[in-house]
Each structure stands twice: as C-alpha cells, then as structure tokens.
Amino acid sequence: MSDKFDVVVIGAGPGGYVAAIRAAQLGLKTACIEKWVNKEGKSVLGGTCLNVGCIPSKALLEASHKFHEAKHDFDTFGIQAPNVTMDVPKMIERKDKIVTQLTGGIAMLFKANGVTPFEGTGKLLAGKKVEVTGHDGSTQVLEAENVIIASGSVPVEIPPAPLTEDIIVDSTGALDFTATPARLGVIGGGVIGLELGSVWSRLGAEVTVFEAMDTFLAAMDQQIAKEVKKSLTKQGLQIELGARVTATQVNGQEVEVTYADAKGEHKKVFDKLIVCVGRKPYTKGVLSEDAGVSLDERGFIFVDDQCQTSVPGVYAIGDVVRGPMLAHKASEEGVTVAEIIAGHKAQMNYDAIPGVIYTFPEVASVGKTEEELKAAGVPYKTGVFPFSAIGRAMANNCTEGMVKILAHEETDRVLGMHIFGQNAGEMIHNGVIALEFASSAEDLALMCFAHPTLSEAVHEAALAVDGHAIHMA
C-alpha cells in the first residue's frame, strides 16, 4: 500500500471521523489515525463523544429518567409500580453495549467508504508528513496533500481536587460508578456537571453542585436559566453558587470538601466527587516542533474562518480549535473542511449552532440571548410562551418551562430561540432552521404546526413576538 494520501486525519472523534468519511466520499484518498484504547485494551474509534461523552451520558440519563419516572410519576397516570428498583451494573452494561455498537459502526463506515484506518498516535511533521507510532512502538511516515488535526479535548484538572482511583473522578469516572453514591459532590455547574449530577440524583444520590461563578449558567439566557435552576433545585440538586472548592481530603471511602463562599469557609463530606470544571484542547504529541502550526494563548490550535491553520494545507477542527466544544460543531467543521479540500465552496455558520443540556426537562438554545442583544445595543422584541398552556404538555405531565423567541425590533428577523421543556433538544431545530433561513418571527407565526405537539409552544411564542398568541389570556 502506498503511504501517500490526499488527506490524513489525526483523531477519529466526531470531528475527525466525519471529516474522513466525507473526504473519502468526495473521492479523496483518505487515512485516519486514532490512538484511543478502551477499557478492554481494544483500539476504538469515535473519540470522546462516543466512548465517554455524548452517547454514554445520554444512555445513563435515559435510564435514570425512566427509573425516576416509574418511581415518582407513574402514579399520576394511574400506573401502580410499587417495587421499582435500579440495577446499576445492568444500566452500565447497557451503556457499554451501545458504545461498542456505535464505535464498531464507525469502523464499518470507514470500510464502506474506503477510509484507511491507522491504530496509534499521529504526529504532524514539517512538510505535511505525518508520523504514525503504533501501539507496539513501530513507526511509519505518511505523506499527505492535506492534513486535518482533530485531536479533541481532555477534562481540566484542578489542584484542590486531584483525581483518585475511584473517589474523586472526572466525567469519565462518573459514567462507570457501580453503585449509586449516597452523597455526591459535583465541582462545576456547567452542562456536563448538571447532566451527571442529574443522573445520580434521580437514582437516589444526595447531590451538591459547587459552582464558582455567582450566576447560574452564565452564558445562557438568564430568564431561562432562572427557571432551570428552580426546577433542578426542586428535583433535589443542591446548587451552591459563588462556591469555590479550595481543598479536598480523602479519608477511607469518603472525601471531605472544603469550599468558600460569601459567607465564609465550609466543609462537606461525600462518598464520590466529580470534577467537571471544563475541558481543554488536546495537542500533546500531535505537533512536532518544526510543524509550523501555531497555538493561540489558550492552547487551541489557531485557525481562520475556514479552519486552516498557520500552515497551508493543514486544517484543524472540533474541540481543539475555538468555538463551542460540541460534537455537532466538530462534525460540521469536518464536512466543511473536506468540501474545501475537494475544491468546493463551503462555509460554516457559527451563528446557528444549537446547544442542549440534557437535564429533565431539557434546555436548548440557538442564536443570541437577551443579555447579548442588550450588551450589543441591538433593538429586539420578545415572544414567550409557557408549556403550562400547551395541551400536549399537560397530557405528557410535563408543563414546566417555556419557549422564548428574540426577534429584531425593526426587521422582525429571528435572532435567538431558547427553550426549557420536555424534548427541547428536538424542538430547538425550529430555531436553527429559522436562523439559517433568516426567517422573521412572522414566518414562524404563519406556519401550520401539528396539534397536539410540544412544538406548538414555538408557534405561540412566534405569535407572541407581535403580541397575539392565541392561547394566552
């Protein structure tokens, strides 16, 4: 086999594997190098997202939600299920099976599309050469017309809470607890912390979330964030804002956490502690000293609007470059770069990337928040509609939350959509489409939405932008 490729991709997460498949579909001779080895010591594709991120966390969120619903909500529907129990190892086993199925599926997609996989570590050398070091230490050099770096990110560790074998863990460790901890601490009240805190809270853990910032979900629309905090607190998550963890002490099978807030210093003891304070770009061993690729001041690979690095023909995508650390953003950048390499015109729209928090109910948003519009001095109008006035939400026994639409005061163009409610992660695509097509709120208001659906709240919120929602007194 020749060692010359049109495209060599380093990393097979949702950025890298999608880029590789699309490049191969476009007729480019493509290789993809991946170094991930799973718990069983097997080389696997799929990166963070499939192995220890999006998919496994959703498998646990779904299982814990079903358990919680059966235990606490079935009675409302007239269903009696008095002896519902949770088999945690079985839940974990199911999660692992889904991961194996999906990562194996990517290997099949590579085969079907003609992507050549390499197991091992890829390092970019000068002159668009890529050295591959196999798991056995053997090396070979691939020559590439184009290189796509998609090496992803890793969790941030903090000095006051060094990870231990099984008591102080990161998000990966929290996906593999073999039993529900009675007392669980979570450092970091961001997306991952709230999702993992929710999983174990639903299964019976007493959960405390420590968030150093004074504002809950500071980057989100604050009208929505306030409702989310109220809801999670009602579900039993104790959310401590302005609480900075300063030390931890493991004593036998428990850990004592010292934290400081406006009222002073406090201590709290947990059986497990999850550190979820964010993720940082991963470039260790990816670039040789003379590769010529620059990093920015925060350690991300520096790229332009088209994901081109400081070296022509070398691109970088996904978590290792600026922008939201989201799987779908990584994948879209992968497709965009593959198209550009194939000589097509392609451009990513960074203004229409949805973000979802998979709590129950879900939280989803796209576009600008009210705070961002205010800060930028953009004149806007707002339409808000609560799920409590939606028939389907009542039938589903989930009337919490609302849809909020922000539109330009003069042009009526939709600038942002924010949803807190059941299936918000599905409904937000109404907003993505509206933003992509530069729709006005009136465009949404004039559409016919199926009845009875939760999406009718989007319709009503669009009508509310001009003050004439139908089902609102």
Residues that bind ligand FAD (CB under 6 A): 10-16, 33-36, 47-49, 52-54, 57, 121-122, 150-153, 171, 192, 282, 285-286, 318-319, 325-328, 330, 358
Terminal alpha carbon distance of the chain: 71
Amino acid at 191: V
The nearest distance, CB 186 to ligand FAD, in angstroms, is: 12
Return the number of the residue (241 or 353) whose C-beta is nearest ligand FAD: 353
Closer by beta carbon to ligand FAD, 35 or else 71: 35
Kindly state the DSSP code that residue 215 receives in the 8-state scheme: S
- Smallest distance from ligand FAD to CB 194, Å: 11
> Is residue 451 within 8 Å of residue 377, measured between CB atoms?
no
27 vs 285, which CB is nearer to ligand FAD?
Answer: 285
Provide the minimum distance between the beta carbon of 401 and ligand FAD in the complex, in angstroms, as a whole number.
Answer: 19
User: 151 with 136: CB under 8 angstroms?
Assistant: no
Q: Shortest gap between Cβ of 173 and ligand FAD (angstroms)?
A: 11
Cα–Cα distance for residue pair 471/327, rounded to 1 Å: 37
The residue (of 153 and 439) whose beta carbon lies closer to ligand FAD is 153
Token pair 């607190």 is found at 233
Buried b or exposed e, range 310-349, using 16+ CB within 10 angstroms: ebeebbbbbbbbebebbbbbbbbbbbbbbbbbbeeebebe
The structure tokens 């509206």 sit at 434
Residue 266 is a catalytic residue = no
For the CB of residue 464, give the shortest distance to ligand FAD in the complex, in Å: 29
Amino acid at 323: G
Residue 473, token pair as written in the block: 């007194």
Q: Smaller CB distance to ligand FAD: residue 47 or 386?
A: 47
Per annotation, catalytic residue among 408, 451, 459, 468: 451
Q: Which is nearer to ligand FAD, 7 or 286 (CB)?
A: 286
Quote the least distance from Cβ 237 to ligand FAD, whole Å.
17
Query: How far is 273 from 51, CA to CA, in rounded Å?
Result: 21
Q: Which is nearer to ligand FAD, 330 or 461 (CB)?
A: 330
Shortest reach from residue 332's CB to ligand FAD, in Å: 11
d(CA 94, CA 56) in angstroms, rounded, equals 9
CB of 389 to ligand FAD, least distance (A): 29
Q: Which is nearer to ligand FAD, 325 or 407 (CB)?
A: 325
- Catalytic center residues: 451
